[in-house]
Amino acid sequence: MVIPTTLEGVWQRLPAIAGLDSPRLWTTAIKAVLSALLGLILLTLLVGVAAVGLELRELGTVGVDAVLQRVLIGVLMLLAMVEVFRTTLAYLTEGRVKVTFIVDTILVVMLTEILSLWLKGGAGATFTLLLFVIGVLSSVRILAIRFSPSSNPDVRREPE
């Protein structure tokens, strides 16, 4: 081991001296954080399911339409959380995130927003803009599948 003679040399070598330049250390840290995030998402899903279930108790006191609208939006938001869970799990297991997973998550959230806006009788311009964004995202998803390296035998992936 070379001993640095200046303070600047110590500062530059500090990560190596402390063992913080190990890729294995950072990979382990990322996996620990993502595992905690998965646990938090799972807890959020369980609380969300309970909250949607509690919404159904109001069927007798509030109008059925209002309760079912809130339940529908709640269920769609839970599906968006499932997509986030799936994306995080894919990164944890595969070490990368597919574009289709990200686009799927955004599509579910955007569809929830459109449905919510439609049920509340929102502005037509906002509705049109959201539909345009969904059209663009759908096109991106189709292109991501069409030109995916895993589905195209002409494209070789570098070994990791």
What are 51-89's pLDDT values in tens digits?
998 888 887 787 788 888 888 888 988 998 998 898 888
pLDDT given for residue 51 in this prediction: 92
Among the listed residues 41, 71, 35, the one whose alpha carbon sits nearest the alpha carbon of residue 53: 71
Q: Find out whether 12 and 20 touch, Cβ atoms under 8 Å.
A: no
User: Residue 20's pLDDT band (boundaries 50, 70, 90)?
Assistant: low
Q: What is the reported pTM? A: 0.68
pLDDT exceeds 50 at position 104: yes
Q: How far is CA 123 from CA 13, 23, 155, in A?
A: 59, 50, 45
Bigger pLDDT: 122 vs 110: 110
pLDDT given for residue 12 in this prediction: 61
pLDDT given for residue 159 in this prediction: 47
User: Residue 160's pLDDT band (boundaries 50, 70, 90)?
Assistant: very low
Average pLDDT of span 100-124: 82
